[in-house]
Amino acid sequence: MSFVHLHTHSDYSLLDGAAKVRDLVRLSREMEMPALALTDHGNMFGAIEFYQEALKAGIKPIIGIEIYMAPGKRQDRNVSAGIKDTSYHLVLLAKDEAGYHNLIKLSSLAYLEGFYYRPRIDWELLEKYHEGLICLTACLKGQIPQLLLQNRVKEAEATTARMKELFNGDFYLEVQNHGINDEAIALNALIELGKKLDLKLVATNDVHYLRKEHDEAHDALLCIQSGKTLADPQRLKFSGAGYHLRSPQEMEALFRDMPETLEITLEVAEKCNLELSFGKQHFPAFPIPSEEGSSADEYFEKISWAGLKQRYPEPSQEAVDRLKHEIAIIRQLGFSGYFLVVKDFVDFAREHKIPVGPGRGSAAGSLVAYSLRITNIDPLKYDLLFERFLNPERVSPPDIDIDFADNRRGEVIDYVRSKYGDDSVTQIITFGKMLARAVVRDVGRVMGIPYSEVDRLAKLIPPILGITLERTLDEAPEFRSLVESNPDYGKLISISKVLEGVHRNASTHAAGVVIAPGDLQDYVPLFKAAETGETTTQWDMKWLDTIGLLKMDFLGLRTLTVIDDTLTALRNKGIDLNIDDVPLNDPDTFKLFAEKGTVGIFQFESSGMKENLARLQPQRLHGLIAMNALYRPGPMEMISTYIARRHGQEEISYLHPLLKPILEETYGIIVYQEQVIRIASDVAGFSLGKSDILRRAMGKKKIAEMQRLKGEFIQGAKDKGINEKISSEIYDYIERFASYGFNKSHSAGYALVAYQTAYLKAHHTAEFLAACLTSEMNDSDRILLLVDECQRLDIPVYPPDVNRSYSKFTVEDDGIRFGLGAIKHSSVAAVNMIVEAREDQGAFRSLYDIVERVDGQKVNRKVLESLIQAGACDSLEGHRAQMKAALDDVLRYGQQMREEKSRGQESLFDVDSADFQPPSPLALPEVEPWSSTEMQILEKDALGFFLSTHPLEPYRLEVASFSHLPFSEMDQAADSQPVRLIGYISDIRRLTDKNGRPMAFVTLVDFTGSLELIFFSDALEKLNSIVVKDATLVVTGRCSTRENEAVKVIAEDAFPLETARSRLAKGIEIQLDRNENGPDLAERIERLCTQHPGNLPLYIRLTGGENGDRQYLAENFQLKLGDHLIDSLEKLVGQGNVHLVARGNNGSSSNKHRSAVR
């Protein structure tokens, strides 16, 4: 007997269903079932994916939903008496297109109007949108089974009769058998109900996972959902068994006494004949200006040619031919309206002074986009390809992603909403998956395996994009051996393999926006996130593409805000700079890249990138474009070759002369995807479109397609006179690099933005860094790093001051004034009120003066307290301790002033109004000023870091010499890498481990950021007396890395920082530039050294030579280390050129921290 599953949950029933859509379809086909229904809980997330997979497998897809039904009205937010839940279950299946669209409506409105714990509909909606739907009574959680189980038979009959009338022959009583006692009770009652009301019974299985043996993995998934462990008897667990995709034979055995209930599944499936068509684009109609009176195609072509003339007053034949070619393809594919829509909102942004990026992704390769000013990077100048963006031989919608200043992106989306309607525009959903490392951690936790053991397993999984557990078992022998060494590990991996790739959560895509030609609910179901209230589509980018809706990315780029703020500051000084006009060959800008000065520079900040830029010494934008493309996993291994060839240290060769013009720019190395496309075109005679198809096949390892195209490639090369041996070598060469090659269009756009930021930093340093600081106001670690950079560049950062600061960081004299907006608890409204009062009525004299002039509800106790602790009130009467002690009096005074002023206004025309006497401020209390340590600690509480003085300030030399890495660069550290670090303990969380022994999480701070240390019990018991708040320590330990988390350090040993010199110093090093030494410098150094005899050797490091740095031992000197010696040496050789040689550094003081020494 055949059978069709009509009640099936996939992993789109988030953290409840453990079966992937594709696997459900494949197994159904293997079981020779003619159809399959997908009925996820409350949503249609998987509908289009399921439909397409089922058609590919040759089985009928039945799109459905197990919807939630409110007991009363969907707007009700209370639980009715006697009802255990806020909703019942109901299964709905689409018979046809009308039913499909009604499912979309019901699912959308359940989220938008009925959400209360779950997305819910009610009778009103069901009656309105029931056409084309088949209804089943669902599992035991359905309303009718629940009423029957509660022996409320009359109510059950009434509800059933109402459903029967509504669905008119398409209503069925659903029966299940998972071995649950209540199911047997409900079954008998449903049989009687069916007889009485002449309704058919249909057998289903409540499918939640794929195979019978996956029940334990499903149990683990429920624990992941609820935060419980498998050992917890109170955990959420399914009653009964058999929630897998049972075979027809299994279902026949379960319902042997009711075979007709299985036959009815075929009856239901035969009623469902939904046919969806894909391939048609549903773009919004762009309103053509009335004076144009033309079609979208004609208007698009007209403005494209006009734009070309603006870009190139005398366009070359190449530009004319290229534009003609692009316009023809865009019109042919029906995308003219798409470009008009994009141009319109980009024009809006530019007209409203909203910064727009020069180009992102492959769209920068389009001359049409450049002519329409959608992009701002010349594709002809940088040899960017249109076919990488829009390929006429592989038709897919264009994908134009636009960067806007992050603080004004919302204005552009609001404009689009206002133009096309709120009902037509929304953001796009995205789904997180349980990938290899994450699923091992999740399953390890619910199994109760110790964190350290799970961590070790997870870290043995290679951090490679797309890595799977199966592949790791095959390719990582250490991982495989560890798994085989312990049965618990074997079980962990077995469960993890079932759950790997399962959807874990839904969220809003960071940038995606969809625009429909009408009401979105005519095309796509909508979702509303309970946590944020954001409305999105229920289908992600891929499936929106499939159904033909216009989608695009509106990205918020902080760097554009930084550039804009810098230019605004310059205009306020009378300097009117257009960032698009800065010279692209500026030596000072390239010097900044070459000298590792890229803190704050977009995409070029990491320590690894700095090192490579210093080796490269770029002198053209092309070098930055290439480095941006190379500095990522895969192509990174080519960086050394690229740099060596750039400096003529390695020979450049080409497999064939035709490759030289394509690869010459990158010294014979394939760096860009566009180069792969060019090679296929020039060598094999492929069209650019076909070349892009080859590139994609290589990048995605589509073996069959690659083999077919290889034959065509070799034949095409042969037709051009290239022998098979050479053409085969060329093909193999491009195949090797195709998966690594990066999109040059994207790299060029972002390299240009990076260059622009570097230009501003090189020429308008204070304004640029002030803008950077403003953009990072909510990230104290970043502010700390940028303040450190200001100090490195001798730009003073002045403390916040209510009489001088604004909300943002601003340039003042030769330095930067700290912004009040960066102080904790200082709201935008409070800061603006303070600034406005100061500018209207002059500087504040005291705290009393402030509260008299501003609204005490906005500038409240918390705000004033933070301002005092941050030092922002130091220009007022009294010291910080006095002001804080006076706060009660000050706030009372402010309240009295507001009341008196209000009373005074009310009695303005009274005869007694002359009696109005305002209260008088009190004298500040006489209290002791805070100590330096107290000021530091309270300042840090208010700012998140130390500004005026840092506890490590007396130890800058030790930090520079002995600490292996600045905390801002700890993300470069490898797992288990041994490190020695120096910092100040700003916070400690003490707790006990599972054995009841003490352990601690410690926040350590240096000059560049903060870091979490973990002191396990053995280390803490040994070091407990020194691991205390506000201590400064030298700590040794090992790095612990975990994906998507900051690096932590497992502490092994520590000692007080004040003992570091005696414990760690084994020499002193001075650094000299051999080209800049004065004639008597050596003699002066020698004279100084003789005055400080001791037992530490002196090393001299000479820099500036052709062969790099050289270190020499000054054999005649043994020195006694002391502050006087260090200060005197720094006066001779310059700050930052004296270091301590640390034990364990192999005689070298080379250290990432050197730049911190002033």
Q: Residue 843 and residue 850: Cα distance in Å, rounded?
A: 9
Can you give the pLDDT at residue 1?
64
487 and 390, same domain (yes or no): no
Q: Residue 128 and residue 115: Cα distance in Å, rounded?
A: 18
Among 708, 738, 756, residue at a domain's last position: 756
1 found inside a domain? no
pTM confidence score: 0.86
Phi, psi of 963 (to 5 degrees): -80, 130
Can you give the pLDDT at residue 84?
55
303 and 392, same domain (yes or no): yes
Please list the ranges in the chain whose pLDDT falls under 50: 81-83, 908, 911, 1146-1150, 1152-1158
939 and 1081, same domain (yes or no): no
CATH code, domain carrying 882: 1.10.150
Q: Which of 442, 437, 455 is nearest to 217 (CA)?
A: 442
**1012: exposed, middle or buried (C-beta count within 10 Å: 0-12, 13-18, 19+)?**
middle
**CA dihedral over 255, 259, 264, 269, signed as positive or negative:** positive
CATH code, domain carrying 53: 3.20.20.140
Q: Residue 241 and residue 209: Cα distance in Å, rounded?
A: 11
- Residue by residue, DSSP assigns 568-628 as HHHHHTT----GGGS-TT-HHHHHHHHTT--TT-TT--SHHHHHHHHHH---SHHHHHHHH
Alpha-carbon dihedral angle through residues 837, 841, 844, 848, given to the nearest 10 degrees: -80
279 found inside a domain? no
Q: Residue 63 and residue 57: Cα distance in Å, rounded?
A: 15
Can you give the pLDDT at residue 1158?
27
Among 382, 410, 438, residue at a domain's last position: 410
470 found inside a domain? yes
16 found inside a domain? no
190 and 314, same domain (yes or no): no
Among 509, 535, 559, residue at a domain's last position: 559
913 found inside a domain? no
Indicate the residue type of 1006.
Answer: D
935 and 963, same domain (yes or no): no
Q: Residue 544 and residue 552: Cα distance in Å, rounded?
A: 11
66 and 147, same domain (yes or no): yes
621 found inside a domain? yes
783 found inside a domain? no
Alpha-carbon dihedral angle through residues 623, 627, 630, 631, given to the nearest 10 degrees: 170
- How do 998-1005 and 60-69 pair as beta strands? unpaired
551 and 589, same domain (yes or no): no
540 and 609, same domain (yes or no): no
**1127: exposed, middle or buried (C-beta count within 10 Å: 0-12, 13-18, 19+)?**
exposed
Can you give the pLDDT at residue 451?
86
Can you give the pLDDT at residue 754?
96
Length of the chain: 1158
132 and 189, same domain (yes or no): yes
Q: 418-453 pLDDT, tens per residue?
A: 999 999 999 999 999 999 999 999 999 999 999 889
Can you give the pLDDT at residue 656?
92
Domain total in the chain: 7
576 and 686, same domain (yes or no): yes
153 found inside a domain? yes
Q: Which of 580, 585, 583, 588 is nearest to 563 (CA)?
A: 580
Range of the domain at 599: 562-756
Q: Residue 331 and residue 337: Cα distance in Å, rounded?
A: 9
491 and 395, same domain (yes or no): no
CATH code, domain carrying 474: 1.10.10.1600
442 and 364, same domain (yes or no): no
